[in-house]
Amino acid sequence: MPRGNDPTSKVFYKGASEDFIVFVDDTQVLNNWRNDRSIPLADVVNGFKIFVTHRHGAQGIMDGASKGILQTEFGTANEDECITKILENGDYQSSVSRERQDDTNVANGPVGIGR
């Protein structure tokens, strides 16, 4: 996953029983791949991992998709074929995560109290 303030690009696919997400590197490469299948799939995706959000849309908590879920939705458990279907029929989305801030040393007590 990208660090704070880095853009996140993904393809969201709303299936019949689950919502699926595949992370991609760049929208231009995705569009080129959609028009020219000679571009390797490895150049398009940012890792060969399919995520499900348990019907919570593109912003839901993501878990790895099991082979059973893929078989039910796409008729195959082959992840390459499922990724191809998601990239073909899904919606591209891009967002920038805000920078994460947290206590750097919790042994010093809560932040903002008595300081």
Residue 84 has pLDDT above 70, yes or no: yes
SS3 label, residue 5? coil
pLDDT tens digits, residue range 36-82? 989 999 999 988 899 998 887 777 788 999 999 999 999 999 999 99
Look at residues 41, 1, 22 and name the one whose alpha carbon lies nearest to residue 92: 22
Instruction: Name 72's Cβ contacts closer than 8 Å, sequence gap at least 6.
Output: 17
- Give 102's pLDDT tier (boundaries 50, 70, 90): low
Residue 23 has pLDDT above 80, yes or no: yes
Distance of CA 87 to the CA centre of its chain: 11
53 and 21 in contact (C-beta within 8 Å)? yes
Fold classified for 9-94: 3.30.1250
Mean pLDDT of the chain: 83
The residue among 49 and 3 whose pLDDT is bigger is 49
90 and 11 in contact (C-beta within 8 Å)? yes
42 vs 36: CA distance, rounded Å:
14
> Do the strands 91-96 and 7-14 form a parallel or antiparallel pair, or are they unpaired?
antiparallel
